[in-house]
Amino acid sequence: MTSLYDIPVQTISKEETTLEAFKGQVLLVVNVASKCGFTSQYKGLQELQNKYGDQGFSVLGFPCNQFGAQEPGDNEEIKGFCETQFSVTFPLFSKINVNGDNAHPLYEHLKNEAPGLLGSKAIKWNFTKFLIDQDGKVLKRFAPKDTPESIGQEINTLLNP
């Protein structure tokens, strides 16, 4: 089985890399969008990053335009929006697909490790979140309506057992 850390990803600046740099950290991987009813969750995601970032935690944002075309911009526009509207400092990656034939391998891995309601693998909407422990184990999938604030205690427990 491929490790989460070996899966190729592309930064928002289009640099090819993997998630190896995040090995040993607690991660919250989120498919994000700038024109969604849940877009205000960027604020809560950044607050989690601010609160736990120096303890070995990171939010990883993966823009996706598969739900209602709510992420129409290119990488530069997405990065600018996130920085100016929400002061985002957590890592953002290139826009990807999370479902279908062209789904990114990272999301195929996440969906297999943490299926949704009734075992569904499909991502239902923007701001679906996956919590990953320090060993790269996908622990839990959170629905879009689950706010970042509601996940904070689980992150804290992982960082401070």
**Token pair listed for 110:** 């996440």
Catalytic-residue membership of 82: no
Q: Name the catalytic one among 4, 26, 29, 36.
A: 36
- CA–CA distance, 131 with 142 (Å, rounded to integer): 8
- CA–CA distance, 154 with 57 (Å, rounded to integer): 12
CA dihedral defined by 95, 97, 101, 105, rounded to 10 degrees? 80
Write the CA distances from 70 to 6, 48, 79, 127, 152, integer angstroms: 29, 23, 15, 11, 26
Q: What residues act catalytically?
A: 36
